[in-house]
Amino acid sequence: EAQVTQNPRYLITVTGKKLTVTCSQNMNHEYMSWYRQDPGLGLRQIYYSMNVEVTDKGDVPEGYKVSRKEKRNFPLILESPSPNQTSLYFCASSPPQGREKLFFGSGTQLSVL
Amino acid sequence: AQSVTQLGSHVSVSEGALVLLRCNYSSSVPPYLFWYVQYPNQGLQLLLKYTTGATLVKGINGFEAEFKKSETSFHLTKPSAHMSDAAEYFCAVSDGTGRRALTFGSGTRLQVQP
Protein backbone atom coordinates (compact mmCIF):
# COMPACT_ATOMS: atom_id res chain seq x y z
CA GLU A 1 0.00 0.00 0.00
CA ALA A 2 1.31 3.44 -0.97
CA GLN A 3 1.76 5.48 2.14
CA VAL A 4 3.71 8.00 4.18
CA THR A 5 4.58 6.65 7.61
CA GLN A 6 5.40 8.86 10.55
CA ASN A 7 6.57 7.80 13.97
CA PRO A 8 5.77 8.24 16.73
CA ARG A 9 2.09 9.13 16.61
CA TYR A 10 2.23 10.85 19.99
CA LEU A 11 5.26 12.21 21.84
CA ILE A 12 5.57 14.00 25.16
CA THR A 13 8.97 15.36 26.04
CA VAL A 14 10.65 18.02 28.16
CA THR A 15 12.36 21.22 27.16
CA GLY A 16 15.84 20.70 25.77
CA LYS A 17 15.71 16.96 25.22
CA LYS A 18 16.65 16.20 21.63
CA LEU A 19 14.14 14.24 19.62
CA THR A 20 13.63 12.91 16.10
CA VAL A 21 10.37 12.31 14.30
CA THR A 22 10.79 9.82 11.49
CA CYS A 23 9.08 9.92 8.11
CA SER A 24 9.24 7.31 5.41
CA GLN A 25 7.46 6.98 2.07
CA ASN A 26 7.26 3.94 -0.20
CA MET A 27 6.21 5.69 -3.40
CA ASN A 28 9.69 6.64 -4.65
CA HIS A 29 8.75 10.32 -4.42
CA GLU A 30 11.50 12.87 -4.84
CA TYR A 31 9.75 15.69 -3.03
CA MET A 32 9.18 15.54 0.73
CA SER A 33 8.14 18.18 3.20
CA TRP A 34 7.37 18.81 6.87
CA TYR A 35 4.48 20.93 8.09
CA ARG A 36 3.25 21.93 11.49
CA GLN A 37 -0.43 22.49 12.15
CA ASP A 38 -1.60 24.91 14.82
CA PRO A 39 -5.18 25.97 15.58
CA GLY A 40 -6.19 29.01 13.56
CA LEU A 41 -2.97 29.00 11.56
CA GLY A 42 -3.49 26.09 9.20
CA LEU A 43 -0.42 24.22 8.02
CA ARG A 44 2.91 25.96 7.80
CA GLN A 45 5.87 24.49 6.01
CA ILE A 46 8.98 23.85 8.10
CA TYR A 47 11.43 22.33 5.61
CA TYR A 48 11.24 20.63 2.28
CA SER A 49 13.47 18.46 0.14
CA MET A 50 13.49 18.33 -3.63
CA ASN A 51 15.65 15.19 -3.69
CA VAL A 52 18.36 13.30 -1.83
CA GLU A 53 20.81 15.69 -0.17
CA VAL A 54 18.75 18.70 -1.30
CA THR A 55 16.85 20.47 1.47
CA ASP A 56 15.61 24.01 1.97
CA LYS A 57 13.81 26.11 4.54
CA GLY A 58 10.10 26.63 4.51
CA ASP A 59 8.20 29.34 6.35
CA VAL A 60 8.99 28.34 9.95
CA PRO A 61 12.37 26.54 10.06
CA GLU A 62 13.72 27.97 13.33
CA GLY A 63 14.46 25.28 15.88
CA TYR A 64 14.28 22.40 13.40
CA LYS A 65 16.72 20.39 11.34
CA VAL A 66 16.19 17.84 8.60
CA SER A 67 18.28 15.46 6.59
CA ARG A 68 17.69 13.55 3.37
CA LYS A 69 20.30 10.83 3.02
CA GLU A 70 17.95 8.43 1.28
CA LYS A 71 15.03 9.08 -1.01
CA ARG A 72 12.49 7.32 1.19
CA ASN A 73 13.36 8.93 4.57
CA PHE A 74 13.08 12.52 5.75
CA PRO A 75 13.48 12.80 9.53
CA LEU A 76 12.65 15.96 11.47
CA ILE A 77 15.06 16.77 14.26
CA LEU A 78 14.46 19.06 17.21
CA GLU A 79 17.86 19.58 18.83
CA SER A 80 16.54 21.49 21.84
CA PRO A 81 12.74 21.46 21.89
CA SER A 82 10.85 24.31 23.49
CA PRO A 83 7.18 24.59 24.52
CA ASN A 84 6.37 26.73 21.47
CA GLN A 85 7.15 23.70 19.34
CA THR A 86 4.17 21.87 20.81
CA SER A 87 2.16 21.17 17.70
CA LEU A 88 0.79 18.59 15.29
CA TYR A 89 3.39 17.69 12.70
CA PHE A 90 2.80 16.23 9.26
CA CYS A 91 5.20 14.77 6.79
CA ALA A 92 4.19 14.76 3.13
CA SER A 93 5.58 13.64 -0.19
CA SER A 94 4.66 14.12 -3.82
CA PRO A 95 5.70 12.80 -7.22
CA PRO A 96 7.68 14.83 -9.79
CA GLN A 97 4.58 15.38 -11.91
CA GLY A 98 1.93 17.04 -9.83
CA ARG A 99 4.10 18.15 -6.97
CA GLU A 100 1.15 19.89 -5.41
CA LYS A 101 -0.66 16.60 -4.87
CA LEU A 102 0.80 15.91 -1.49
CA PHE A 103 0.44 12.57 0.24
CA PHE A 104 0.33 13.10 3.97
CA GLY A 105 1.29 10.94 6.90
CA SER A 106 -1.10 10.52 9.81
CA GLY A 107 0.63 13.10 11.93
CA THR A 108 2.71 13.31 15.10
CA GLN A 109 1.25 15.14 18.09
CA LEU A 110 4.19 16.60 20.01
CA SER A 111 3.94 18.12 23.47
CA VAL A 112 6.98 19.86 24.93
CA LEU A 113 6.68 20.47 28.67
CA ALA B 1 4.13 36.10 -2.12
CA GLN B 2 0.97 34.08 -1.91
CA SER B 3 -1.70 33.91 0.73
CA VAL B 4 -5.02 32.24 1.33
CA THR B 5 -7.93 33.47 3.40
CA GLN B 6 -10.69 31.13 4.45
CA LEU B 7 -13.76 32.95 5.68
CA GLY B 8 -15.29 31.25 8.67
CA SER B 9 -13.30 28.93 10.89
CA HIS B 10 -16.47 26.94 11.65
CA VAL B 11 -19.43 26.23 9.40
CA SER B 12 -22.47 24.26 10.47
CA VAL B 13 -25.09 22.90 8.07
CA SER B 14 -27.94 20.46 8.29
CA GLU B 15 -27.74 17.11 6.56
CA GLY B 16 -29.01 17.56 3.00
CA ALA B 17 -28.30 21.28 2.92
CA LEU B 18 -25.92 23.09 0.62
CA VAL B 19 -22.31 23.26 1.71
CA LEU B 20 -20.39 26.45 0.87
CA LEU B 21 -16.86 26.97 2.14
CA ARG B 22 -15.23 30.20 1.13
CA CYS B 23 -11.66 30.74 -0.02
CA ASN B 24 -9.95 33.85 -1.36
CA TYR B 25 -6.37 33.90 -2.50
CA SER B 26 -3.63 36.33 -3.31
CA SER B 27 -0.97 35.44 -5.83
CA SER B 28 1.39 37.41 -8.03
CA VAL B 29 1.33 34.71 -10.69
CA PRO B 30 -1.48 32.60 -12.14
CA PRO B 31 -2.33 30.36 -9.23
CA TYR B 32 -2.79 26.69 -8.84
CA LEU B 33 -5.57 26.19 -6.29
CA PHE B 34 -6.45 23.24 -4.12
CA TRP B 35 -8.86 22.01 -1.51
CA TYR B 36 -7.72 19.42 0.99
CA VAL B 37 -9.85 17.62 3.57
CA GLN B 38 -8.73 16.37 6.97
CA TYR B 39 -10.83 13.81 8.79
CA PRO B 40 -10.31 13.42 12.54
CA ASN B 41 -6.95 11.93 13.48
CA GLN B 42 -5.84 11.67 9.88
CA GLY B 43 -3.57 13.48 7.48
CA LEU B 44 -4.86 15.68 4.69
CA GLN B 45 -6.27 14.29 1.48
CA LEU B 46 -6.57 16.10 -1.83
CA LEU B 47 -10.20 16.88 -2.61
CA LEU B 48 -9.78 18.74 -5.89
CA LYS B 49 -7.45 21.07 -7.73
CA TYR B 50 -7.47 23.79 -10.36
CA THR B 51 -4.42 24.34 -12.53
CA THR B 52 -5.53 25.51 -15.96
CA GLY B 53 -8.52 25.10 -18.25
CA ALA B 54 -12.08 24.69 -17.05
CA THR B 55 -12.78 26.93 -14.10
CA LEU B 56 -15.33 24.60 -12.53
CA VAL B 57 -13.55 21.58 -11.14
CA LYS B 58 -15.08 18.50 -9.66
CA GLY B 59 -13.54 16.51 -6.89
CA ILE B 60 -14.22 13.46 -4.83
CA ASN B 61 -17.31 12.87 -2.72
CA GLY B 62 -19.49 15.23 -4.77
CA PHE B 63 -17.55 18.40 -4.04
CA GLU B 64 -16.76 21.01 -6.63
CA ALA B 65 -15.12 24.42 -6.73
CA GLU B 66 -15.11 27.30 -9.16
CA PHE B 67 -12.10 29.45 -9.90
CA LYS B 68 -13.14 33.09 -10.31
CA LYS B 69 -10.15 35.19 -11.28
CA SER B 70 -12.01 38.49 -11.07
CA GLU B 71 -13.00 37.74 -7.49
CA THR B 72 -9.75 35.92 -6.58
CA SER B 73 -11.92 33.20 -5.14
CA PHE B 74 -12.07 29.43 -5.14
CA HIS B 75 -15.12 28.51 -3.07
CA LEU B 76 -15.94 24.88 -2.34
CA THR B 77 -19.51 23.64 -2.68
CA LYS B 78 -21.54 20.49 -2.35
CA PRO B 79 -25.27 20.42 -3.13
CA SER B 80 -26.28 18.12 -0.29
CA ALA B 81 -24.28 17.56 2.89
CA HIS B 82 -23.79 14.12 4.38
CA MET B 83 -22.84 13.34 7.94
CA SER B 84 -19.62 11.86 6.62
CA ASP B 85 -18.59 15.27 5.26
CA ALA B 86 -17.86 16.52 8.78
CA ALA B 87 -14.16 17.36 8.69
CA GLU B 88 -11.75 20.24 8.41
CA TYR B 89 -11.21 21.71 4.97
CA PHE B 90 -8.14 23.58 3.83
CA CYS B 91 -7.78 25.78 0.78
CA ALA B 92 -4.27 26.06 -0.61
CA VAL B 93 -2.43 27.94 -3.34
CA SER B 94 0.72 27.15 -5.26
CA ASP B 95 2.73 29.35 -7.58
CA GLY B 96 3.32 26.38 -9.81
CA THR B 97 7.07 26.32 -9.45
CA GLY B 98 6.91 23.36 -7.13
CA ARG B 99 9.70 24.57 -4.88
CA ARG B 100 7.61 25.46 -1.91
CA ALA B 101 4.59 23.38 -2.83
CA LEU B 102 1.58 24.83 -1.10
CA THR B 103 0.53 27.74 1.08
CA PHE B 104 -2.46 26.71 3.19
CA GLY B 105 -5.33 28.68 4.60
CA SER B 106 -6.20 28.43 8.27
CA GLY B 107 -8.92 25.86 7.68
CA THR B 108 -12.70 25.63 8.05
CA ARG B 109 -14.26 23.03 10.28
CA LEU B 110 -17.51 21.74 8.81
CA GLN B 111 -20.15 20.36 11.15
CA VAL B 112 -23.14 18.49 9.74
CA GLN B 113 -26.20 18.39 11.95
CA PRO B 114 -28.68 15.51 11.64
- For B98, which residue in chain A has the nearest alpha carbon? A99
Contact yes or no for B85/B111 (Cβ under 8 A): no
Mean pLDDT of A80-100: 88
Contacts 24+ apart (CB under 8 A), A103-106: A103/A2, A103/A3, A103/A4, A103/A25, A103/A27, A103/A29, A104/A4, A104/B43, A104/B44, A104/B45, A105/A3, A105/A4, A105/A5, A105/A6, A105/A23, A105/B43, A106/A6, A106/A9, A106/B41, A106/B42, A106/B43
Chain B neighbours among A 42-81 (CB < 8 Å)? 42-45, 48, 50, 56, 58
pLDDT the model gives residue B95: 67
Hey, are the CB atoms on A102 and B102 less than 8 Å from each other? yes
Please write the tens of the pLDDT for every residue from B24-42: 998 877 788 999 999 988 8
Any CB–CB contact under 8 A between A41 and chain B?
A: yes
Say what percent of chain B tops pLDDT 70.
Answer: 94
Kindly state the average pLDDT of the residues B67-79.
95
**Does A2 reach chain B within 8 Å, measured CB to CB?**
no
E-strand ranges in B1-107 read 3-7, 10-14, 19-26, 32-38, 44-50, 56-58, 64-68, 73-78, 87-94, 103-104
